[in-house]
């Protein structure tokens, strides 16, 4: 039996293909296939290729760019990226911050989008592992991402941002004790 296709069905089909190809409004190719947890196409920003997803389990990326992933200490952050990837340097965090950012919501998760168009990357406001005297992880309000650059024998640089009503703040030169639990967004060198 042959099915008849209407013009409306064809327009919907074509619109879905266009949206999937451009990643608009949640229509992504990831919906049709499970992403590879060990690899990521990445986005070139500031001379480095930035992964589009956070690290989940050690050596694996999370499934979606809006997934928070796990929290790691500074020392762990330098070892948890999948093979071929690493924690960004302070200079790479500064280059990311320098291209501009905006507070936004993507797939239901608040966060910061750095860059624009195809050269942009979304970092979810994944919060942090709470300190002993604080039970709130601030997920959805704050984002903390380790660099691989230390400031001393007990402190390392990280990128921090928030989108509170008092205004936006994105700061790549913050430092914290190595024991704090923050997210990791991996980078690798740009191919020449």
| pLDDT for the residue 133 | 53
Whether residues 85 and 29 share a domain: the answer is no
Whether residues 2 and 72 share a domain: the answer is no
Q: Order across the sheet with 43-45: list the strands.
A: 43-45, 48-50, 187-189
Whether residues 64 and 90 share a domain: the answer is yes
| pLDDT for the residue 114 | 92
| pLDDT for the residue 166 | 38
Whether residues 40 and 23 share a domain: the answer is no
CB 51 within 8 A of CB 186: yes
Q: Give the total number of structural domains in the chain.
A: 2
Whether residues 56 and 126 share a domain: the answer is yes
| pLDDT for the residue 171 | 58
Cβ of 62: how many Cβ atoms within 10 Å? Answer: 21
| pLDDT for the residue 75 | 92
Whether residues 75 and 18 share a domain: the answer is no
Whether residues 25 and 49 share a domain: the answer is no
Whether residues 8 and 98 share a domain: the answer is no
Whether residues 118 and 131 share a domain: the answer is yes
Whether residues 21 and 82 share a domain: the answer is no
Look up the domain containing 180 and give its range.
36-189
Whether residues 161 and 136 share a domain: the answer is yes
What whole-number distance in Å separates Cα of residue 65 and Cα of residue 57?
Answer: 15
Low-confidence ranges of the chain (pLDDT < 50): 1-32, 165-169
Whether residues 50 and 28 share a domain: the answer is no
| pLDDT for the residue 187 | 97
| pLDDT for the residue 173 | 59
| pLDDT for the residue 165 | 44
- Supply the Cα-derived Rg of the chain in whole angstroms: 18
């Amino acid at each position: 039996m042959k099915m008849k296709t209407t013009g409306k069905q064809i327009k919907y089909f074509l619109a879905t293909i266009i949206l999937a190809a451009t990643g608009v409004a949640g229509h992504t190719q990831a919906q049709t296939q499970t992403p590879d947890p060990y690899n990521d196409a990445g986005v070139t920003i500031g001379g480095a290729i930035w992964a589009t997803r956070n690290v989940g389990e050690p050596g694996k990326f999370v499934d979606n760019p809006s997934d928070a992933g796990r929290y790691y200490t500074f020392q762990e952050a330098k070892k948890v990226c999948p093979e071929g990837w690493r924690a960004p340097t302070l200079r790479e965090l500064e280059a990311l911050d320098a291209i501009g950012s905006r507070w936004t919501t993507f797939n239901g998760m608040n966060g910061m989008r750095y860059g624009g168009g195809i050269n942009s990357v979304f970092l979810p406001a994944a919060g942090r592992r709470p300190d002993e005297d604080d039970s709130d992880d601030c997920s959805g309000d704050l984002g903390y991402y380790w660099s691989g650059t230390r400031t001393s024998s007990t402190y390392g640089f990280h990128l921090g941002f928030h989108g509170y009503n008092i205004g936006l703040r994105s700061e790549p030169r913050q430092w914290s004790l190595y024991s704090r639990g923050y997210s990791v967004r991996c980078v690798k060198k740009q191919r020449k």
